[in-house]
Every structure is written in structure tokens, then in C-alpha cells.
A and B are shown apart, each in its own frame.
Chain A
Amino acid sequence: MNYYLTEEQQMIKELAAKIADEKVKPVAIKYDEEGTFPHDIVKILADSDLCGVYISEEYGGFGGGIFEMALVVEELSRACGGIALSFAASGLGAFPIILYGTKEHKEKYLPQIASGAKLAAFGLTEANAGSDAAGIQTTAVLDGDEYILNGTKQWITNGGEADIYTVIACTNRAKGARGFSAFIVEKGTPGFSFGKKENKMGIRASVTSELVFEDCRIPKENLLSKPGMGFIVAMKTLDRTRPGVAAQALGIAQGAFDEALKYSGERVQFDKPISSFQAIQHMLADMAIQIEAARCLVYQTCKLVDSGAKSISKESAMSKVFASDTAMKVTIDAVQVMGGYGYMKEYPVEKMMRDAKITQIYEGTNQIQRNVIALELIKEQKSGKKVN
């Protein structure tokens, strides 16, 4: 399908594809098995200028938006969803600064993220605050010119590897969700350390750690937006970056499909390539239909987000649900098409199947996304206005 990308977008896609095929593919299995962080690939991404595609030119970026970021994530995810996540999670950490940072915040942090010199990360989830993000226990107390942070964030992507963290903490317990605030915390701040590194089912090249705050003092200028706006900062950020997860899922699905299609042409049974059997053909056709449909939805949602539209929650959720459900189904079918070989670690599809699963879970489970979609639909129906 021709999506009529701009010349710049086409260039970004081609460059990301080149890196995925030439640099990421050869090491994807190694990093999956070792569960180590791909510093060499992150360096390549930095040198390629791709880290700044979604950051404005004023701050050393390329001046694109979520669409440009999604194109990179999709291409990298074809080769490795885990490695792609290091890039995408840095975007998740950067977006609160892009959306709510002051000029000083932007001048200080965005050029470093755009050049790839530093990675960012986003800290929202806690042991008791997953789908119910309002259950956050981490606190931030104003003391003179500083906020004092205490608490532990859990399952934070790029935790320990990133230098710049945007963290949501409670500044006023009595106000509930309106009592949260967003902060920028730099690695190396006294009282800020990293807890255990998780051992995951998939996306194993991506590092997932606890962020531990023990009387961690940060300058009060590190507050993003106003006190009490933390929940809004988090939700608006996630609305924008969710198509990034969708793009990751889309890339994983495409990668698995490519492997299955190639294999089906090479594998001979009953004296014929298995691609000549209708049973396989129909599976391949269904996989391709779902991937293309997901791509249409993801790309269109990216365009909507980049247009500056105010209401994007529903579409953003839809793109994430559809693409991640597609990734799960397509990767399972890819393993099935490849049979016993697909199940073996020598071939990349079993890893893709493990990698796909997280896309249905993080940045809001697909069940929570369906809640969001349904609530928006009901709201639209009641108000009599269809928004987008």
C-alpha cells in the first residue's frame, strides 16, 4: 500500500529500515538470549540523527512528530521489538518535556535527547498503581527551593540506562488524582537509585528496572507544568505516544510475517513448497490483511495526533489495541506456519511471539484501552457530537 509519505518521512523510513536490516537483525537473537542492553545499536541510532525525529529543529531535532517516531519504531521492530523500545521509551520520557516543559527545560534536555547523547525514561507505574494509575504512592514534598521525593517506581523501561527521567509523584494526597505532579529527575541525583533489573518473557534487549527515591532532593524548577497537573501530564503524554506502541506491534507483526512468508516458499513437504497449500495461503493472506489494516489505522492516527487535534484518546487507544492484538495473532500464526522450526530459538519468530505479548499490556492494557474507547463513544453519543 502506498501511504504517500512525504519525501522526508520516506527518508526516515528507509534509514531506519537500513539500520534494522544491517545492524539490528544480526544481533537480535544475541541480545534476547543475554538480556543485555544494546549500547552499540543505541550509538548507531544516535549517529544516524534518528533520535531527534520527533523533536523540533529549535532543539536540535528533525522537526517531525509522532508519525516520524512511529516510522522509526515500526522499522526497528521488524528486526527487534526490544531494541526498538529503547528508542520509543526515550520518546515517552521526552514527550512530557516537549508538551509541558518550560523553555529552560527544553533547552536543557531536548538537545541531549535529540542527539542521542542521552536517553530519557518515563516513571509512572508502581507496584500498586498499574491500570489504576491513581494509586501512586511515591510522594514529592516541597521544602524551600526543593522537592523531596520518596517511593519506588516499578517496571520502568530504560531504567538505569536513561539519564533523564520524567516521574509522576503525589504532592497532595487529599486531592486524589488531582494531587499528582510531574517532575524531571536526572540520573546521579543523590537519593535516586535503581532497584532490581527485571527478567522478562520478551523485549529482553530492553532494560526494565525499579526507580528508587530515598529523600531525593530536586530543584523545584524541575516541576513540569503546575502542581496537581501530574495526572494530566501523564495521560496527555500517553495519548500521544500510544501510536508508538502500536507501531512497535505493527513492526513485530511485519517482521514475523516476512519470516513466515519466506519460509513457506522454501519449506518443501509432499514435494511442494508449503506456500502452495491453501491452508497456508489463507493464513498468510489473513496475516497480511490484518497487518495492512493495522498500518492504515496507526498511520492515520499518527496524522491525527500530529495535526494538533485536541481529542485523540479514542483513536490513539484504537490504534494500540488493534495493532497489538494483530501482532499477537500474526506472531502466533507465524510460528504455526513454520511449525517445529518456528518453535525453535534458531528462528526469530518464537522471540517475536514473546515480544508481541507486551504490546497488549503496557502503556495501558488493551482492556483499559477498550474502556477508554467505550467511554469516548458514550460521551460522543450523549453530546451528539462526533469528534473526529
Chain B
Amino acid sequence: MNIIVCVKQVPATNEVKMNKETNTIIREGIEAIINPFDTYAIEEGVRIKEKTGGKTTVLSMGIPSVADLLKETLAVGIDEAVLLSDRTFAGADSLATSYALSKGIEHIGDYDLIVCGKQAMDGDTAQVGPGLAEKLGIPHTTYVRKIEEINDKYIRCQRMTEDGYDIIEMPLPAVITVVKEINEPRLPSLKGMMRAKRAVVTVLTAKDIGADSDLCGLKGSPTQVVKTFVPVHDVQSEMIEGEPEEQAEKLAKKLLSMQFNTSDSTEVI
């Protein structure tokens, strides 16, 4: 079974600098890490391959230095790394990213499953996984917390919901996006690190993958980011402790002391 895992480089902190003209993140000169949600995708991809055989390829789109990050994935069991890197790709929103990655995947070819993290820690859109499936014309399931069965024909997985999970079966090839509940990513091994050090990351341009430049990067991005900021949370909260009965009593007293109007239950406070 051939598996492609898509990963994104994200800044290591919340203290990001923005490009004022495009309102996109300046990624140069900032410590970069693999999006933490994607590490679960990597682990799951490697685990499936260990069970079924085949090959795992990690795919990303980004600046040339992302190649070093992709090498890290080779130390935890990924077989090959491919980076889409080209000025044409710069400033891409989730649509243009999905397009470029889908072209990259078509270029790699011969795939059975594509695994993504549920969302990126910086953009938080959770759109690229499903977008990719649409571009490729294959089914997808998001928020996968467990793969129950996978074979040549189909995958059956558990999609996490707010109150439990759905069981979804879909034919392959397909895209899944995974949540952190799915596994515990392994640490690198020394032999893996040695292999990663010697490995060469394949770097592809828009031309290499036959991507239409009008659909790539800023040009291919209908999203206009007006403003980006880190929200400030200054809500004061108080934890009420004790047995449930005591907690209820304390809470009731507290609410009463705040003198809300409690006589009309339809009124929203």
C-alpha cells in the first residue's frame, strides 16, 4: 500500500511576523517545526505501511529550508520526501495549496491513501485535506481517530464527533485527516537519523508537476486576509471546588449574589 502524508511547516511560536502587503506569515528566519497535528499523520502512515508493506512518501509545499524538516520524517520511518518549492507557490491560500499538493500527488502517482493532520496549528482552517480530495476527485474522511480496517479496496475508520464517533467506510484511494487521539508518534531512531542525514529530498517546481501558475500561489488564492492577530484572552474565571453538591450550592449562591434576574426563565442572561 502506497501512502502519501502531507505535512506543513509552521512557526514554533505564536509570535509570528506578518507580511503587511499580503497579510500572510513571513516564514523566513523563524524557527520552524512540522505542524504538530501532522506528526500523528506521519505516525499513522508509517504504522499502516509497517502492517501492509508498500511505501510512504511525505509531501509538503514551502520554502527550500522545509527540506530539512522533511528529513526529520525520514528518521521516524517515512521512506521518501518530496517538497514543492517555487516562487509561483508563494502566498497560497488553502485552495491554491490544495491545488498544488494535488498536482504534486498526481506527479508522485500510484497512491492508495493520503493522510493529513486535522488542521495546521497556524492557519487552523482544516480545509486543505478535504480540498485535496476534491481536487483529486476521491473520497475523504476528516477527524479520524482510529483506523478499524484497511485493505486494497477500502478503509473503515472512526470519525471523531462531539459526542462519540461515526464509523465510515470508503473505497481507496482516499484522503483521511487525523486527530491526535489516533496514536502516539514515535521518537526517531539512531539508524533512522543516520538514514535521514544521508537522504536527498526531491524538490519539484510548478513546471515539474505541470501546475497551472494562474491557480497557484497568491494568484490562485481567492481568500483575502484582511487582518491576522493573536487573540487576547482576558476572561477572569474562577474554579469552584468541592463535592458536586457543594459545587452546586456555591454556584447557586454566586449566581444569586450577582443579582441576575432569574424570575423569567426564557430571558437569556
* A residues in contact (CB < 8 Å) with B: 7-8, 11-12, 15, 18-19, 22-23, 44, 47-50, 53, 62
Interchain residue pairs with CB less than 8 A apart (24): A7-B197, A8-B194, A11-B190, A11-B193, A15-B187, A15-B188, A15-B189, A15-B190, A18-B187, A18-B188, A19-B187, A23-B187, A44-B187, A47-B186, A47-B187, A47-B189, A48-B187, A48-B188, A48-B189, A48-B190, A49-B191, A50-B190, A53-B190, A62-B190
Q: Contact at B187–A11, with CB atoms within 8 Å?
A: no
Task: Beyond A15-B188, A18-B188, A22-B187, list 5 extra A-B contacts (CB 8 Å).
Answer: A12-B190, A19-B187, A23-B187, A47-B187, A53-B190
* B residues in contact (CB < 8 Å) with A: 186-194, 197
Determine the distance from Cα of A15 to Cα of B75 in the docked complex, in whole angstroms: 11
CB distance from B72 to the nearest CB of A (A): 11
CB distance from B16 to the nearest CB of A (A): 25
Determine the distance from Cα of A22 to Cα of B188 in the docked complex, in whole angstroms: 12
Interface of B is mostly: helix
CB distance from A7 to the nearest CB of B (A): 7
Among B186, B189, B192, find the residue whose CB has the most chain A CB atoms closer than 10 A.
B189
Write out the residue numbers on chain A whose beta carbons fall within 8 Å of the beta carbon of B188.
15, 18, 48
CB distance from B163 to the nearest CB of A (A): 31
Write out the residue numbers on chain A whose beta carbons fall within 8 Å of the beta carbon of B197.
7, 11
Determine the distance from Cα of A267 to Cα of B222 in the docked complex, in whole angstroms: 52
Determine the distance from Cα of A79 to Cα of B194 in the docked complex, in whole angstroms: 25
Write out the residue numbers on chain A whose beta carbons fall within 8 Å of the beta carbon of B191.
49
CB distance from A62 to the nearest CB of B (A): 6
Write out the residue numbers on chain B whose beta carbons fall within 8 Å of the beta carbon of A44.
187
Q: Contact at A49–B189, with CB atoms within 8 Å?
A: yes
Write out the residue numbers on chain A whose beta carbons fall within 8 Å of the beta carbon of B190.
11-12, 15, 48-50, 53, 62
Of A11, A19, A47, which contacts B194 at CB under 8 A?
A: A11
Determine the distance from Cα of A115 to Cα of B194 in the docked complex, in whole angstroms: 16
CB distance from A268 to the nearest CB of B (A): 23
CB distance from A17 to the nearest CB of B (A): 11
A46 nearest in chain B by CB position: B189
Determine the distance from Cα of A147 to Cα of B179 in the docked complex, in whole angstroms: 58
Write out the residue numbers on chain A whose beta carbons fall within 8 Å of the beta carbon of B193.
11, 15
CB distance from A52 to the nearest CB of B (A): 8
Determine the distance from Cα of A49 to Cα of B188 in the docked complex, in whole angstroms: 9
Write out the residue numbers on chain A whose beta carbons fall within 8 Å of the beta carbon of B187.
15, 18-19, 22-23, 44, 47-48
A62 nearest in chain B by CB position: B190
B193 nearest in chain A by CB position: A11
B188 nearest in chain A by CB position: A15
A52 nearest in chain B by CB position: B190
CB distance from A47 to the nearest CB of B (A): 6
CB distance from B105 to the nearest CB of A (A): 30
Write out the residue numbers on chain A whose beta carbons fall within 8 Å of the beta carbon of B189.
15, 47-49
Give 6 nearest A-B pairs by CB, closest first. Answer: A49-B190, A49-B189, A49-B191, A48-B189, A11-B193, A48-B187
Write out the residue numbers on chain B whose beta carbons fall within 8 Å of the beta carbon of A15.
187-190, 193
Determine the distance from Cα of A7 to Cα of B194 in the docked complex, in whole angstroms: 10
Determine the distance from Cα of A48 to Cα of B194 in the docked complex, in whole angstroms: 12
Write out the residue numbers on chain B whose beta carbons fall within 8 Å of the beta carbon of A62.
190
CB distance from A381 to the nearest CB of B (A): 44
CB distance from B151 to the nearest CB of A (A): 27
Among A12, A23, A47, A49, find the residue whose CB has the most chain B CB atoms closer than 10 A.
A49
Write out the residue numbers on chain A whose beta carbons fall within 8 Å of the beta carbon of B192.
49
CB distance from A184 to the nearest CB of B (A): 26
CB distance from A115 to the nearest CB of B (A): 11
Write out the residue numbers on chain B whose beta carbons fall within 8 Å of the beta carbon of A18.
187-188
Write out the residue numbers on chain A whose beta carbons fall within 8 Å of the beta carbon of B186.
47
Write out the residue numbers on chain A whose beta carbons fall within 8 Å of the beta carbon of B194.
8, 11
Determine the distance from Cα of A12 to Cα of B188 in the docked complex, in whole angstroms: 11
A53 nearest in chain B by CB position: B190
Determine the distance from Cα of A15 to Cα of B188 in the docked complex, in whole angstroms: 7
A16 nearest in chain B by CB position: B190
Write out the residue numbers on chain B whose beta carbons fall within 8 Å of the beta carbon of A50.
190
A44 nearest in chain B by CB position: B187
Write out the residue numbers on chain B whose beta carbons fall within 8 Å of the beta carbon of A22.
187
Write out the residue numbers on chain B whose beta carbons fall within 8 Å of the beta carbon of A53.
190
A72 nearest in chain B by CB position: B190
